[in-house]
Structure 1
C-alpha cells in the first residue's frame, strides 16, 4: 500500500472539491447520491466536501422535493449569489455596465453618456459612478463584488494598462485595471473592447459553435477581435486585430465620411428608403470595412465573421454591400453573421473575463 506524502492529502481534497463544485454548477441541484455517481466519489467524501463548501458560503441546501415518495433526499445547489462580477464598457460616447452573479446571469445594467472628447479623469469618473450605481441599484453589497473587468478601445496590455489609444483624449497610459480595482477593492482586469465582444459572442452569442472567429466592431469607433481555437488571440503586446490603425485601410476616414451629413442612423434609414446619396455613402463605408476585414480573414481563415456594435443594427442595408465587397476581396469568404448582443457585447464579454478570473483564482476551477 502506497503511503500518502505530506502534500498528497491536501491535493486530494482540492481535486475532490473541484470535481464536486463542477458537478454542482452543471446540475443546478443534486443529492448526495447523484453527486457521488457523477463524481465517482464516496458518499462520505461528497458530504465532507459539501460541508466545507457550505462553510465558505458557496453551497446551500435546497428545500426537499415535495413530489418524491418517502423521505425526501437532501438536495444541494451552488450559491451563484455568493459573489458577483462586473463588466464595464468604457466607450467613446457612453459607459455600459453589467452586473452578473457567479453563473454569469446578468442581474442589472447601467448606461450613461459621456462626451466624445471628455478628458481621461472625467471618463473614468463616469465609469466609476455608473458601476457604483449599477451595484447599489441592484441592492448588492459592494463588498460582494469579486472581480471587475473593463473593456475599452485601443491597445490594452496584459497588465490592464492602455498602451495606445488614438481615439480617446489622454487615454494612452491609463492603468484601467488598477483604477477599476479601487472602485470595489477587488481584482480588476482590462482588455480591448472588440476582443471582449468576440468573447461574448463565443460564450452566448452568434459564435457559440465556431472555433476560429474574426469579430468586427462597427460603430462610433471601429475595431476587431480574433478568436483562435475558441480562445482570444491578443498577441504579444495586445495589438492583434488592430488593423484599423493602418491609414491605408481607411476605417477611421470611412466612419467620419459616413456621418458627414447626418447621424449613422439617419444615413442607414435614408439608404434603406432608396436615397441614392445615402446608398453611395453606405457602399463606400462597406467597401472600406471590407478591406480591413478581408485582410484579417485572409490571415486567419476563420469559420465565422461576426459584425457587432451599434451600426450592426442597420441590417441588410449594410450587410448586403459588405458581403459583395468581401466576396470580391477574399479567396474564400466565411459566413457573415450579425452580433447577438449589439452594443451590449463589450460589457457582457467583460463579465465573462471577470468570471474566468473568479473560476480560476477563487473557485479553483
Structure 2
C-alpha cells in the first residue's frame, strides 16, 4: 500500500469534493447511491463530502418524493441561490445588467438609458446604480453577489482596464474592473463587448455546437469577438478581433454610407420593402462587412460566423443574403453565417458567463 505523503489527504478531499459537486450540479437532485455511481466514490465518502458542502451552504437536502414506500433515500441538491453573479453591458446609449444564480439562471434584469456623449463618470454611475438596483429589486442581499463582470466597447486588457476606446468619451484609461469591484465589494472582471457576446452565443445561443466562432457586432460601431476551441481568445493586449479599427477595411465608412440621408434602420426597412436604392446601399454595406469578416475567416477558419447587434436585428435576411454571397466570393471556404439568438441582452449574458467561469474556477474549485 502506498503511504500518503503530507498534503495528499487534503488534495484527495479536494478532488473528491470537486467530483461530487460537479456530479450534483449535473444531476440536479441525486441520492447518495446515484452520486456514488457517477463519481466512483464510496457512499461514506460521498456522504462526508455532502455534509461538508452543506455546512458551507452549497448543498441542501431535498425532501423525498411523496408516495415513496418504506424508508426514503436521502436526496441532495446544489444550492444555486448560495451566491449570485452580475453581468453588465456599459454601452454607448444604455446600460444593461443581469443578475444570475450559480446555475446561470437570470433572475432579474436592469436597464437604463445613457446619453451618447455622457462623460465617463456619469456612465460609470449609471452602471453602478443599475447593477445595485437590479440586485435590490430581486430581493438578493448585496453580500451574496460573488462576482461582477462588465462588457464595453473598445480594447480591454487582461487587468480589466480600457486601454483604448474610440466611441465613448473619456473611456480610454478607465480601470473598469477595479471600479466595478467597489459596487459589491468583491471580485470584478471586464472584457470587450463583442467578445462577451460571442461567449453568450456559445453558452446559450446560436453557437452552442460550434468550437471555433467569429462573432461580428454591428451597430453604430463594428467589432468582433473570437472563440477558439470554445474559449474566448482576447489576444495579448485584449485587441483580438478589432479589425474594424483598420481604416482600409472600411467598416466605419460603410456604416456612414448606409445611414446617409436617413438612419440605418430606415435603410434596412426600405430594403425589406424592395426599394432598389436601399437594396444597393445594403449590398455595398454587406460587401464592406464581408471584407473584414473574410480576413478573420481566412485567419481562423471558424465553424460559424455569428452576426449580432442592432444592425443585424434590423437587417435580418436582407443583410444576411448579400453577406453570405460576398463571403463566398472572398473566402476559400465560407462558414455558416447566422444571426444572434439574443436581442440587446447578449453582452450582459456573456458577462454573466464570464463571472460564472471565475466563480466556478476560483471559488467552487471546478
Question: Is the pair's TM-score, using the shorter chain for normalization, greater than 0.5?
Answer: yes
Cα distance in structure 1, aligned partners of 2:292 and 2:341: 22
Aligned residues: 365
Alignment check: 8 A CA contact 1:87 1:97 kept: yes
Work out whether 1:142 is the aligned partner of 2:142: yes
Deviation at 1:256, TM superposition (A): 2.3
Cα distance in structure 2, aligned partners of 1:142 and 1:220: 34
Residue aligning to 2:80: 80
Q: Which runs of 4+ in 1 moved over 3 A?
A: none
Residue aligning to 2:65: 65
Work out whether 1:339 is the aligned partner of 2:360: no
Residue aligning to 2:281: 281
3-state SS of paired residue (1:342):
coil
Aligned runs of 1:54-203 on 2, under 5 Å?
54-203=54-203
Unaligned runs of 5+ in 2: none
Deviation at 1:163, TM superposition (A): 0.9
Unaligned runs of 5+ in 1: none
Cα distance in structure 2, aligned partners of 1:207 and 1:284: 27
Residue aligning to 1:218: 218
Residue aligning to 1:21: 21
3-state SS of paired residue (1:307):
strand
Deviation track 1:11-54 (CA, whole Å, cap 9, x = no partner) reads 11111110000010000000111111111111111111111101
Deviation at 1:182, TM superposition (A): 0.3
Deviation at 1:290, TM superposition (A): 0.8
Residue aligning to 2:316: 315
Cα distance in structure 2, aligned partners of 1:257 and 1:242: 21
Work out whether 1:356 is the aligned partner of 2:347: no
CA RMSD of aligned residues (A): 1.1
Deviation track 1:293-322 (CA, whole Å, cap 9, x = no partner) reads 011111111111110112222211111111
Cα distance in structure 1, aligned partners of 2:255 and 2:143: 42
Deviation at 1:331, TM superposition (A): 1.6
Cα distance in structure 2, aligned partners of 1:25 and 1:334: 34
Q: Which moved more, 1:97-106 or 1:253-262?
A: 253-262
Give TM-score, length-normalised by structure 1.
0.98
Give TM-score, length-normalised by structure 2.
0.97
Cα distance in structure 2, aligned partners of 1:254 and 1:73: 65
Residue aligning to 2:30: 30
3-state SS of paired residue (1:248):
helix
Cα distance in structure 2, aligned partners of 1:229 and 1:283: 32
